[in-house]
Every structure is written in structure tokens, then in C-alpha cells.
Structure 1
Amino acid sequence: MPSLHDATRGRLLFGGDYNPEQWPEEVWADDVRLMKEAGVNSVTVGVFSWARIEPRPGAREFGWLDRLMDLLHAHGVGVVLATPTSSPPPWMGALHPETLPRAEDGTVVSYGSRQHFCPSSPVYRRYAAALTEDLAARYADHPALTVWHINNEYCTHCWCDETAAHFRRWLTARHTTTDALNEAWGTAFWSQRYDTWSQVLPPRKAQYMRNPAQVLDFKRFTSDALLECFTAERDIVARHSPHIPVTTNFMPMWAGQDGWAWAEQEDVVSVDVYPDSRDPQGGQYNAMLADMTRSQAGGPWMLMEQAAGGVNWRPVNQPKPAGLNRLWSLQSVARGADAVCYFQWRQSRQGAEKFHSAMLPHAGEGGRTFGEVKRIGAELARIGGKVAGTHSTADVAVLHDWDAWWASAQEGRPSTLVDYPDLVRAWHRALWENGTATDFARPESGLDGYRVVVVPQLYLLRDAAVDNLIAYVRGGGTLVCGFFTGVADEDDRVRPGGMDSRLRELFGIRRVHEWWPLDAGTTVECEGLRGTLWSEELEPDGSAETVSAYRGGELDGLPAVLRKGSAWYVSTLPEPEALRGLLGRVTREAGVRPVLEGLPEGVEAVRRGGLLFLLHHGSSTVTVELPEGGWRDLLTGTAAGGRVELGRFGVAVLEDGPA
């Protein structure tokens, strides 16, 4: 199977989405000149070019793409060639309105934007396959081709009749009979029993709350339906060019795709990352997404899109301050990225994204943004031979699962203030601020290589996952688990006792009497910490130590944090400093140490391969004391001695060896 290493050839890829069809061809020569100046060695082409290639049904206009591919190759720029199937041309919607998606209330989602296709539509799939077939046949052996990029940011949902038929086929394969379906969905509630498959529909807009098990299955189905679209096109390009790796770009922490399942179907895992430059924790968010993507990839990955400056889809879109683009780009490399790319190369003059930043902005080659892009390109070229293809290790894993996320977001839950992505981010933040190297893992995956496993929240846990966690603890691992975990099985059926009985035994809990969610802005006092968002009325079975008890209120004296051997249960969300302290204690006792001790506030240390990355997320100048050794900064080419000074958003990439 081809890999990202086959595409990078021992270097870091640097570039971005290139949409030359928006410009006269005389501009292309200027583009390649500036690409060379900026150190660009890879561009993604064709993402939104369906109407240009197929202006009418069955037509093919490849001449412009031929010239472009040849031009890029002549200037040493590799091509990540996209199948342009994410946005069908208007003629498809006009001639085949059945290809357009329908919303939950039956409204037709018209063309005029992007991603306007029903994933279940056989007509859409037929046109997409035909175009992909011709594209692959024409360019499979082109010397510029380095990676195939299928579609773009798969995110379409549909509730139409074609989707309903597809959903029923999917359900039949999963549940076999309507009796089994009724059992899985608990349709005895509210007289929802189905007698025939033809009665089953997607969870469309309803009079009141919809069946949460039906919604859960529909989310699983939608991820699978989109994956079918991906694998169909993947198989076509792979047949024509088995030596070229294939990817599609994830949107990070997006609920519509099971990222674990999708990553298994890709040669290369890639992601689009857009932290808010005004977010004080933007660097942590960037780190979390890098850790998650690296874990899905099992090694190096592609940063397919980021913004060189501001975006255009937030209520207020500010640019990145000077140096932040460089900091976050090198942070991604430190955490496993072998490609640093942007949306897009040249900023559009028209269309919905004309105010979205680009490597070459409206200000032109004399602007600040392009100057920073050139610096990043030069530095990536300087370190690429040392870092590309290398791996990093971690002693801690954070468990993350899309089924649990989907189920926890149901209507009628105890608190709409509890947001699964926010919980994952809060727990990862505590580890990140402690300087703890962290992976992400599936609940059923092998965990033996980790000293500590962290579960921010997994409301739904399959039996295999529960067994896996118990085996991990019995094998000597340390498990620390957040609230409202193990409550439901894979069909969203609440387990007796308010938590899986095996987990209750593991944590020393006899039963969960009540869940006590907290109002917005309120807290609960506990010994040594203050809890937010949630609390629980736990009855311990006497086998566990109460590490922290609630103080005051209805839960006074009851355990907030329990520990039984190496298994910890945290029934609230401690405030950030307290959570950081708690996880610091757990990891230290398990033998986990920070990447580098004694760092100034705001400085992140990451090891990848044989290199030590120091990344400063603050604005003041700080000094970092280095371990003994002959450290050399690859970015400057100078000896570092025993310390490194980092200014605002400063970065050092250090190699231990002769200066």
C-alpha cells in the first residue's frame, strides 16, 4: 500500500489548494514564479473544477488541466490531484433534481454553493465515478502526480426518499429482521414498533423528540454512506495508479464522520485545521487536532488546509498576528505532520471565500503574509530531511469514540450544557499544559503500550470496550475516567445501576443514584477542587478510596473523585487548574514525565524523531534551560549551548549532536 513517505520522498510538503481556473492563464506563470520563491513544492489542484472539466453532461475539457500539470511539473511542484466531486455543476441539479439533498423537514437543498449532493443518489454516484475514471486514466502516469485527493470535506447529510431506501438496506444488514430492529431501537416506547421495513424512515423532522437509537443509527449510516462514496472513487484511482497514495481531508472534531473507520480506508490521513487566532487556547486546540490526526494515521499525516491569516466564516474574522502562522505550522510538524498546506495559494477576487486569507493575499508578494509564508517554506526545507517520516511516542492515550459522541448529543439528555468536544478539549488541555505527550485511541484498541489511559467521557461503551478497559487496568495500566461514562450500551440502552456493572466494580461504585448536572456558571465545592458542569450521587461499595468528597449541598460528604487501585473516577469536571493538578498527580504516580521539566509558562516541548521542538505561545521573551548535550538549532544553524531564548511566538528545532 502506498504511503505518505512515497509522496514526500524524504522532505516536508509545503503548499496549498491551487485554483487556477479562477484566473486567466497568463497569471499562471506568475504563480509558479512565486511558488518557487516561497519554497512551495506541492499544490492541490482540481478540488472545485467539475464544471470546468465537464461543462455539460459527458463533455470533457482537460486541455487546461494538461497545460497546468505540465507547467507545475516543469517548475518542480508536485500535484495532489483532486477528484472534483464535492460540488456538482448546476446542470446536474437542473437535469437531475433527485441528486440534490433534502433537509430533515423535506426542503430541497439547491445548487449554488458546494457539497450539494445526496450521498445515496445512484445518479450522482454514476456521474462521479465516470468523471473519476476519465481523470485517473488521463493523469495516472503524469510525473507531477504525488497524491490523489478524493472529493473535499465530506459533510453532506440527506433525508430524501433515496436515502430512506439506502438507510433501510443498511439497517437490514445491521439488524437482519424488524424484530431485532425494534429491540435495538426500543420501539415499545411511544408506540413506535415497525412491522415492515418499508415503514422505516430516516429521523426526519417530527412532532417532538425523535427516537435516540434511530438517530444514532442514522448517524452511523450517514458516515458509512459517505464512506461508500469515498471508497468508490478511491478504488478507481488506485486501479489506475496503485503506486500513488490516496487521501481525503477530514474536518477536525466533526460529528458527521467516524474518523477511526475512515482513516482505515486511507493511505494518507489528512485534516483541515482552523484554530481561532484570538483564542488564548488556540495553540492547545491545534496540538489536540494534531495528536488526534497522528493517532488516526498511526504516524505522519498531512495538514491539508490551514489559514495563512484570517478566515471568512466566523462572526469576526481577524488575521493571524505576525509569527502565529509560523508557530502553528511548526507545531503541526512537531506533532507528526509531513505536509504543511493552506487554503489557498492565491486569494480569490470573487466568490464566497474572497475574504478568506491565502498564501498570496490581495496585498500581493510585498505583503506581510507572503513574507511569512516564504520564511516558513525556507525553514521547512531546512528541517525536512531530519524530520520527515519520523515518529513520536506517548505514554498517555485519550480515548475518543464517535458512537459515544453521537449518542451523548441526543435530545432529552440530562444537560444540554455538556458538550462532548468541549470535554475532550478540557482534558487534553490539562495534559498539554503539563507537558505530557499524548495520543488518541479507540476504546477497543490495544492499550498495553500506554502507562495512563484517560477517558474524558464515553457515555456509550460497547461490551468489547468495557472488557478492554478492565483488562488494561488488570494488566497494570492506570485509568482515569470522567463523569457520565459507561451509562449506555451500543443501542443507547441505559445499563442497570446507572453505569455498566463491570465498570462500577472497577471503580468501587455500588450504584449511581442520580446525575446532578449544574446550571450554567455554577460550581460545586469539593475537597481540594471546585467542580463545574456536572456532579453525581455515587454510592461507593467500600473498596475504593475517596480522593475528594463533595462539600455542601445535596451531595455533601459523597465522593467526587474515587480511586480503586490504579482506576480513578471523576464525577465532575474540575476547573482547569484543578484538572491539570489531578492529571499531573495521576501521570506522575504512573511514571510519566513531561517532555522537558521546568519550562517557562507558555512554552511547549515536543520530541519527534531525534529532534526537540520548543514552541513559545506567549508574547514575552523567555529563556529555556536545555538538558546537557551539544544542542544545535536547525532553524538558525547555530549552536544553542545550554539555553535557548524565545521571543514572541518563537520556535527552536534542536538536534543533539556536534555543534
Structure 2
Amino acid sequence: MINEKLPKIWYGGDYNPEQWEADTWAEDDRLFKLAGIDVATINVFSWALSQPSEDEYNFEWLDETIERLHKNGVGVCLATSTGAHPAWMAKKYPEVTRVDYNGRKRKFGGRHNSCPNSPVFRKYSVRIAEKLAERYKDHPALLIWHVSNEYGGYCYCDNCAEAFRVWLQKRYGSIDAVNKAWNTRFWGHTFYDWDEIVPPNALSEEWDGSRTNFQGISLDYRRFQSASLLDCYRLEYDALKKHTPDVPVTTNLMGFYPELDYFEWAKHMDVVSWDNYPSLDTPISLTAMTHDLMRGLKQGQPFMLMEQTPSQQNWQAYNSLKRPGVMRLWSYQAVARGADTVMFFQLRRSVGACEKYHGAVIEHVGHEHTRVFRESAELGRELQQLGDRLLDSRPNARVALVYDWENRWATDLTSGPTVALKYQDEVHKYYDALFKLGIQADMIGVETDLSGYDIVIAPVLYMVKTGYAQKVEKFVEAGGTFVTTFFSGIVNENDLVTLGGYPGELRKVLGIWAEEIDALFPGVTNQVVMSGERGSLSGTYECGLLCDLIHSEGAEVLATYGSDFYKGMPALTVNKFGQGEAWYVATSPDKRFMEHFLKNLCESKGIKPLANVPAGVEAAERIKGDKSFLFLLNHNAEGAAVELAEGAGGVELLSGEAASGSVTVPARGVLIIEREGAVR
């Protein structure tokens, strides 16, 4: 449970009363009660208000806000406000602002404009966090701390350059080790002194944001910047914990945000929280995969949905309204995949600036007689009804997909073989197939223990870190099924090629080696031709993007390429290794292959779908003790029938009615079926 003070699924969101006059606050209190709001995130961007000058602090406005919310039964998610530094700080200490990718020194403005390695920023951000903790440590309204907001962005200033050199010294120990890791004899880049090293940006090694002359340098700078921002978070975390050791601390993440290694960040968060902003055309399975990733950051612990919009967003190219029922549906999608909160940005719409057209529970009209408010109030009522029944329940998947931010950075930065390769997209292809089959999957990192899974899938495992190949071998040897794909096992964590033939350290467990990698132009395809039937796998499938030209070293060849000069070479192999097996998919096959392949794998392990779901219907499960909760979410604009497995019926929690056999999920509707006797 996030905080026992509020033993239910939290319902609320960002609230900015400081942007309004006092006569609005009483109306906020009334409307919050009508909507069932019980948590407000406050003080997110109020640093300048609380600290109007270097030595002056004013928290009276915050005292009044917290007292008013508490009096009206609303708990507080209290932010430290450090996502945007005050103007006086940038004026007096210009070093506090960032230098951008193109080498330009920023002026005051925007947010996330603070250099993470600025001593001034670190000093004052920690100081205000500690003052907040000292002041509110015993307040009964305080539920959780919210450090800064949506950390992100890199800096390339002199402070960062110096800190980067210190970071490198700690990581490598010597300049010779750096030269070796970066292969600096290429292009005569050998460094003889630490101060010769400069950040890789548009003025040095990089261009276009993701193309670089030296992958090792650019990869390490991403590690360093992620660690620098994490250091800022940890400094505030420690200041808060000094005074409130029992109050949880979080910061809101952003799903697959590319710049920060969230698996590393999650180690230092008491609870993971994140902001979910899909567009109208975002694949449903991609949103589900992102929820699963956020849950997987802390080994399956429940997470917080910190932000979503009640309806419209303001920053996408086409800001569509959420259709009737969709806000409720997407809220329950988060809960189904492990969220123990449903929260919004924002509770009342701003009157000005760039977020004034971002949706809110209370619209500009200012009353409850809107579609959005009615839907919000209905969801609030249902969450009150559910109480604590779902809290701390969690999915129990037997299939896992590996995702690694450093592998993503390395794949994005590589100088070949195709600009069309997108690591996240390739992972999603496998997740999407499982999603359509109704098979629950965990998203895990390379440090996650594999022993609890039957099947582990690691698409495009380009970077194999020290010890990971041995970890895979142990898993397979003990009876696990491991799947990886083309462009895997190529480099180590320094982006240096593992010599002796691809897939490098994975060669032993996979029983193959790859000689060449063919990059197919857009619109060009090859074929995966099955040699016979393997469960649901048979016939011919289309493939594209990349084709590894591989040779078997003991692996069984199940399919070959259908055309080009490598026609007849292996395209799909499986290798027996100990008690288990390791699969290699040498290309990027079509969706039909994905579904047939994964259906076959799951059936071979006795893994059954959660329910027989038609297209557009999502199935997910959370387990708590001896009870399971089956979520059926219908993303279609019309009702859909779902066949439950024999003996898989129970009580639908929102209606209180019995559910078994064939059940109908209303258009954009949700069923939550509580069942006795959770079975893995």
C-alpha cells in the first residue's frame, strides 16, 4: 500500500490554487467532493512563489492550501517545486541555466532549464526540499513526496564537461582505459589528458541528435547525464527522508522516454509513478506495454498513474477529445496493469499560458454540468466502491520481455545497418502479438531474475552486458525458453564488437553464428519459409528490415529464407541447451508469424490466454492472496462477447452480478471479475 492513511485507489491530480483568487477555492472544494477527489498534487511549479529571493521563504500560501484540502478530506501529494528554478536565480547565477545540444547558452525560461551539475542549483533545490520536509513532516494530510517533475533533457555546459571527466575517472580509472573503451585510435582521437575530453554534441562528435562518430563517447555521455539528473533527485530524496523517513518519495516518469535509464532510477524510488498521454491513434497494446514497463521497473510492484488528461491534451499536433467512456476505460487499463492510483493533470484548467487548453476535471466554464465532469464523478464513485479490494494485487506473468535503455541508446547510435531499426518498435511487435493472444507479459530489465519465468524474449539484444550471456545460459539450462532476434549479441557495454562471429557471447546457447546482415530497403521483403509444421507455425510468412545470414552450429533449422542470394539459409532456429531451448529469429517477420510463433511457444509451456478475447478487447489479471481479478476492457465502439474459460467465472465487482461462460463487455466498457483460487 502506498500510504495506509488512504487505503483505496487514490483519485485526484495536479492542483494549482496559487493560479487563482481565493473566491475560486471554495468552489474547488465543493466540486472535488462531487467528483470523489481524495488526493491533490500541489506545489509542482511554485518555487518562485515560496522563495521570492535568495534568503526569503514564504510558505503561508502553502500552509493555507494544505489545511483547506485536509479539512475537506483531500490528502496531499506534495511536490518539491524544483522542476523550474526562479528567475532571480538565473539572473544572479547565470551558470544555473543549461547549454543546449548546439552549444547555445540558455536564458531564463521554460522549465527543466537547470544544469544538473550546477552547484548553485543543487544547493538551493536541496535547501527548499529540506525546508518543506521540516515544515510539513507531521501534517496528517501528507501522503507522499513528489520530487521535481518529469526529469529530462541534457546539458553541455562547462560544469557538465568537468563533471563528465570526473565520472569517467570513477568509471574507468585511467585515461588509457577510456581510450580502449572508446577505441580512440580510430580517426586519431587518442586522449592524453582528461581535460581534452569534451561533451559529444553538435560542436564535437554528434549531429542530428542520434548520429555520432564515436558511439562509446556518446553512449557514456547519456549514461552520465541520466546519472547526473538522478543525483539531483537523490539529493532531494535524502533531504526529505531525513525528516520524514516513513513517507514515500517518488518522481513522475514518462514511459519509454529515451533520455533516462528508468531501471536505474527505480532503484531509488519508493514507488514508481508515471504520466500517461497516448494520442487517439496510439496502439492500445503500446499503452499497455508502457504500463507493464512501469510496473516492471520495481519487480512488479504496483505503481502510480500520476498524470493523464480527463479529455484533451494541448501539446500534440492533433489534440482530439477523449470519446465518451474512454477516460474511464484508459483509467481502468492502468489499474488492470498494476496502478494503485488514478490521477490527472489537471483538476482545474489554467486561465493562461501554454497549458490553458489542456483538459481538466473542472473546465473553463467552472461548474459540474459538463460531460467530462460527469464522467470524472462517475469514476470517482466507482473507485470509492472498490475500496481496498485491488490494492497491492499484482499480475503474475509467466512470459517476460526484456527492455534495456542502454541497449536502446547503443542501437540508436549505431552507424548501421539501417536507419529504419527502432528498438522499441521491435520489442512492441512481440508484445503486441502476446497482447492479441490474451497472454499476460512482464517487462523486465537485464538485472531482473529470470527464474520465475517460463519464456523470456529479448528482441534486438544488440548489447550484451558482462555476465548476461551466462545468466541466459543458466536460465535455459534449467528448462527455460529464451528467444532473441536478428542484430543481437553484437557488442559489449562499451559498444565494442565481440569478435569471433555474431551473436558473440550468445553463440553457445543459440547454436548458430551469423556471417552477414542484409538491410532491406523500405517496401522490400523476403520470406520465412517453414520446413514443416511446428504447432501453429506452418507455410510462408513475409519478413523485412534486416536479414541475418546465419549458419547452424547444432541448432535445428525450422525455416529458411525464400528469396535473394541467401535463399535456403536459416531464418528461424531452435537450439536444445540443457533442459530448455533457445530460439533465434533471424529477421523481422510479419504480424501473422508473430502470433503463430508466440502461440506455439506458449502452448508448448502450457501457458493459456486469460480469456478468449476478440479483436479490440484487452484481458489483464491482478492477483492478491487466493483471489484473482480478471479485467476485460473493450476498446471497441460496440459491445463484445468474451468466452471465459470453464471454471473461470466469478463476481463482477462494479455491478455485483455473477459472471461466467459468455459475458458481454459494453462498448468502451470494463468488467472486473473477482475469482476465488488464483492459479498461475
Q: Which TM-score band (shorter chain)?
A: over 0.9
Q: For the Cα contact (< 8 Å) 1:346–1:360, is it kept in 2?
A: yes
Which runs of structure 2 are paired with 1:343-422 in the superposition (5 Å)?
A: 343-364=345-366, 365-410=368-413, 412-422=415-425
- Aligned twin of 1:242: 245
Question: Where in structure 2 are the equivalents of 1:461-610 lying within 5 Å?
Answer: 461-509=464-512, 511-527=513-529, 528-541=540-553, 543-565=554-576, 566-596=581-611, 598-609=612-623, 610=628
Residue 87 of structure 2 is aligned to residue 78 of structure 1:
no
Contact 2:464 2:505 in 1 (8 A): no
Deviation at 1:554, TM superposition (A): 2.4
State which drifts further: 627-636 or 32-41.
Answer: 627-636
Shift of 1:183: 0.6
Aligned counterpart, 2:143 = 146
1:79 positional shift = 0.4
**Cα separation, partners in 2 of 1:375 and 1:521, compared to 1, 3 Å:** farther
Q: Distance in 1 between matches of 2:431 and 2:475?
A: 20
Judge conservation of contact 1:118–1:156 (CA < 8 Å) in 2. no
Asked whether the 8 Å contact 1:515–1:536 carries over to 2, the reply is yes
In structure 1, the residue matched to 2:292 is 291
Looking at structure 1, the residues matched to 281 and 448 of structure 2 have their Cα atoms a distance apart, in angstroms, of 36
* 2:303 equivalent among 301, 307, 310: 301
Secondary structure in structure 2 of the residue aligned to 1:548: strand
Question: What whole-Å deviation, never above 9, does each CA across 1:36-82 have from its counterpart, x for those lacking one?
Answer: 11111111101111111112222111111100000000111110000
Q: 1:657 offset after TM fit, Å?
A: 6.4
The DSSP-based 3-state class of the residue aligned with 2:352 is coil
Q: In the alignment, what sits opposite 1:433?
A: 436
Paired with 1:11 and 1:232, the residues of 2 have a C-alpha distance of 30
Query: Are the structure 2 counterparts of residues 515 and 183 from structure 1 closer, same or farther at C-alpha, using a change threshold of 3 Å?
Result: same
Cα distance, 1:498 vs structure 2:
4.1
CA spacing shift, 1:130–1:384, aligned 2, 3 Å: same
SS in 1 for 2:133: helix
Q: Distance in 1 between matches of 2:249 and 2:561?
A: 52
1:328 to 306, 327, 330: 330
Shift in Å, 1:210: 2.9
Deviations 1:278-337 (A, max 9, x none): 33x2x2122111111111133111011111112112111111111111111111111110
Residue pair 1:178, 1:197 contacting (<8 A) in 2 also: yes
- The answer as to whether partners of 2:510 and 2:575 remain within 8 angstroms in 1 is yes
Q: CA RMSD in A?
A: 1.6
In 2, Cα distance between equivalents of 1:499 and 1:58: 60
Q: 1:126-173, CA deviations, whole angstroms, 9 ceiling, x for partnerless residues?
A: 111111111111111111100000011110310000000100110000
Q: What per-residue deviation string (whole Å, max 9, x for no partner) do you get for residues 524-578 of structure 1?
A: 222121112211111222x112222111112211111111121110111111222
Gaps of 5+ in 2: 207-211, 530-539
Aligned-residue offset at 1:111: 2.1
1:617: which partner in 2? 635
Q: Which residue identity lines up with residue 309 of structure 2 in the other structure? A: A
Supply the distance in 2 between the matched residues of 1:508 and 1:631 (Cα, whole angstroms).
Answer: 46
* 1:632–1:657 contact (8 Å) kept in structure 2: no
Amino acid at match of 1:643: S
Tell me how far 1:637 sits from its aligned partner: 2.3
Separation in structure 1 between the aligned mates of residue 616 and residue 281 of structure 2, nearest angstrom: 15
What residue number does 1:13 align with? Answer: 10
Quick one: distance in 1 between partners of 2:566 and 2:470? 30
- Gaps of at least 5 residues in structure 1 are none
The answer as to whether partners of 1:255 and 1:402 remain within 8 angstroms in 2 is: yes
The one-character-per-residue Cα deviations of 1:434-474 (angstroms, maximum 9, x if unpaired) are 11111122223210110000112221111211111111111
Correspondence for 1:42 among 26, 34, 39: 39
TM-aligned CA distance change 1:568 to 1:178, over 3 Å = same
Identify the residue that residue 532 of structure 2 maps to in structure 1.
Answer: none
Give SS of 2:387's match: helix
What is aligned with 1:455? 458
Tell me the distance in 2 between the aligned counterparts of 1:506 and 1:140: 54
Conserved 8 A contact 1:457-1:485: yes
How far apart are 1:630 and its partner, in Å? 5.9
Q: Distance in 1 between matches of 2:426 and 2:504?
A: 24
Question: Are residues 1:160 and 2:157 paired?
Answer: yes
In structure 1, what is the Cα distance between the partners aligned to 2:229 and 2:648? 51
Which AA in structure 2 matches 1:578? F
State TM-score, norm by structure 2: 0.93
C-alpha separation in 2, matches of 1:521 and 1:644: 42
CA deviation string 1:361-405 (max 9, x = no partner): 234421111111111111122223210121220001111111111
Question: Cα deviations across residues 60-112 of structure 1 (Å, max 9, x unaligned)?
Answer: 11111100000000111110000011101111112111111001221012222
Is the Cα–Cα contact under 8 Å of residues 489 and 504 in structure 2 kept in the other structure?
no
CA–CA distance in 2 between the matches of 1:629 and 1:614? 13
Distance in 2 separating the partners of 1:484 and 1:207: 24
Equivalent position of 1:253 in the other structure: 256
Q: For the residues of structure 1 that align with 2:478 and 2:493, how far apart are their CA atoms?
A: 25
Q: Secondary structure at the match of 1:297?
A: coil
Partner Cα separation in structure 2 for residue 562 and residue 159 of structure 1 = 45
One-letter amino acid of the counterpart of residue 57, structure 2: R
The more displaced of 396-405 and 511-520 is: 511-520
Q: Who is 1:652 aligned against?
A: 671
Structure-1 separation of matches of 2:447 and 2:424: 20
User: Which of 76, 86, 89 is the aligned partner of 1:89?
Assistant: 86
Secondary structure at the aligned position of 1:386 is classed as coil
TM-score, normalised relative to structure 1: 0.96
For 2:174, the equivalent position in structure 1 comes to 177
Q: What is the rounded CA distance, in whole Å, between the counterparts of 1:286 and 1:104 in structure 2?
A: 30
In structure 1, what is the Cα distance between the partners aligned to 2:488 and 2:676? 47
Q: 1: distance between equivalents of 2:112 and 2:505? A: 44
State which of 199, 204, 211 in structure 2 corresponds to 1:202.
199
SS in structure 2 at match of 1:390:
coil
Answer yes or no: is 1:56 the counterpart of 2:53: yes
Counterparts of 2:135 and 2:525 in 1: how far apart (Å)? Answer: 62
Q: Shift in Å at residue 629 of structure 1?
A: 6.2
Does structure 2 retain, via aligned residues, the 8 Å contact 1:573–1:579? no
How many Å apart are 1:234 and its aligned residue? 0.3
Structure 1 match to 2:225: 222
Distance 1:216 1:8, change over 3 A: farther
Q: Are 1:271 and 1:293, in contact at CA under 8 Å, matched by a contact in 2?
A: yes
How many residue pairs get aligned? The number is 650
In the aligned structure 2, how far is the partner of 1:520 from the partner of 1:64?
A: 58
Alpha-carbon contact 1:7-1:245 (below 8 Å) kept = no
Aligned to 1:340: 342
Specify the alignment match of 1:118 in structure 2. Answer: 115
Pick closer, same or farther for the CA change 1:491–1:234 going to 2, 3 Å.
same
How much has 1:500 moved relative to structure 2? Answer: 4.2
1: CA distance between counterparts of 2:648 and 2:544? 44
